[in-house]
């Protein structure tokens, strides 16, 4: 909550006295999407491992509408992308604003189709030089063949 005083902006004074002061109380509604810290706004963006590795351009919601941001190649979980001047205006200087800070969250997939599984296994082999271990179910199925 912020209180703004406008000197002389209130009602007329009695018996020809000067105008009183006007006090404006500003309350900021909370959001599930944004978190606020002073004049800066924070949001989180889930990205895939592929987006983290090769980079991407992603459209996000900002206080001023949608904006496209660039996810750099090699992005890590917890990295930030800062949009300068896209935060909350300073009450006493509305032309100056805070920043919108986007925190990247790399989401590891839990459900993969067969092609994705094959590609991840191939990547595992390339990076480690070993074959991926078979799951217990695959080993059990092999016994009954």
- Averaged pLDDT of the chain: 89
Share of residues in the chain with pLDDT > 70 (%): 92
pTM of model > 0.75: no
Domains of the chain plus CATH, in order, are 1-30 (no CATH), 33-132 (2.60.260.20)
Label residue 132 by pLDDT band (50, 70, 90).
confident
On whether the CB atoms of residues 33 and 43 are closer than 8 A, the answer is: yes
Task: Report d(CA 38, CA 114) in Å as an integer.
Answer: 47
How many CB atoms within 10 Å of residue 97? 19
> Is residue 120 over pLDDT 80?
yes
pLDDT band at 66 (very low <50, low <70, confident <90, very high): very high
């Amino acid at each position: 909550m912020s209180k703004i005083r406008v000197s002389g902006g209130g009602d007329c004074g009695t018996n020809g006295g000067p105008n009183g002061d006007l006090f404006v109380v500003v309350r900021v509604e909370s959001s599930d999407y944004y978190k606020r810290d002073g004049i800066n706004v924070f949001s989180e963006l889930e990205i895939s491992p592929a987006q983290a590795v090769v980079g991407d351009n992603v459209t996000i919601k900002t206080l001023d509408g949608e904006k496209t941001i660039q996810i750099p190649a090699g992005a890590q979980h917890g990295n930030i992308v800062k949009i300068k001047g896209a935060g909350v205006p300073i009450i006493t200087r509305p032309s100056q604003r805070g920043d919108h800070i986007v925190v990247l969250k790399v989401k590891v997939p839990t459900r993969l189709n067969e092609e994705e599984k094959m590609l991840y296994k191939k990547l595992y082999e390339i990076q480690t030089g070993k074959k991926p271990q078979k799951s217990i179910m695959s080993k059990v199925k092999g016994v009954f063949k």
